Amino acid sequence: MSRGQTTHVLVEAAAGGDVDAQGRLLSRFEPVLRKAVQSSLGRDRFLADGEDLLQEIRMAVLRALPGFRGRDRASFIAWVRQVSTTKTIDWERRRRSGRRAPRPGIGSLSGTNAPEPAARGDAPSRMILLREEKERIGRAIEAVPEQYREVLRLIVTESPEPGELAARLGRGPEATRKFVSRALAALRKALRQPH
């Protein structure tokens, strides 16, 4: 299997909601995202704000995946860079105007205000799917170890920024990142189990 086909298969699985595929896809293309953001912000601003922006972009990529129409690695990289550029411009505008990012709803863990495919809308079938996804995530959260439940509920319902989440948890940024990473890994495992 060629690398392009591997990317295509991974993108299709991730777009279909496969949480493992989403994680592998983000990991595989993390260097592309980091380079794009560092190039846009410059080294000093990247060190100060890069992680917050990267998280927004990661979520935007996952949410916009169903709209990706390419079939190979090169087209996916070009698309990821475009999403990154769009989110960076939006982020810069919000910073200049002093506004925070709009809060997405519970529809999925990857919700952002990223560009969406044209067919998005509030069709009844989409509303049903969102409600079912919310219920599935809620059941999965109840199945994770108790120590992770509250932070997962907070992430799902309020989507706090990393600094805000660290303050609410009473932990440092790195400790919060590690804790959230473990919580999300537990959630991914729970989502794979039948409930």
Looking at residue 154, which CATH number applies to its domain? Answer: 1.10.10.10
- The per-residue pLDDT for 124 is 55
Which is nearest to 100 in space by CA: 58, 37, 151, 160? 160
| Residue 113 counted as domain residue | no
Model's pTM, two decimal places? 0.49
- The per-residue pLDDT for 98 is 67
95 and 173 inside one domain: no
Looking at residue 96, which CATH number applies to its domain? Answer: 1.10.1740.10
Which is nearest to 42 in space by CA: 5, 115, 92? 92
Domain span at residue 7? 1-102
In the predicted model, residues of the chain with pLDDT beneath 70 are 1-5, 98-130, 194-195
Residue environment code for 102-125, b if the CB has 16+ CB neighbours within 10 A, otherwise e: eebebbbbbbbebbeeeeeeeeee
- The per-residue pLDDT for 119 is 39
| Residue 141 counted as domain residue | yes
- The per-residue pLDDT for 129 is 61
- The per-residue pLDDT for 145 is 92
State the total domains in the chain. 2
95 and 137 inside one domain: no
- The per-residue pLDDT for 128 is 64
Which is nearest to 108 in space by CA: 45, 40, 173, 61? 61
CA-CA-CA-CA torsion sign (189, 18, 74, 90): negative
% pLDDT > 70, the chain: 79
- The per-residue pLDDT for 127 is 60
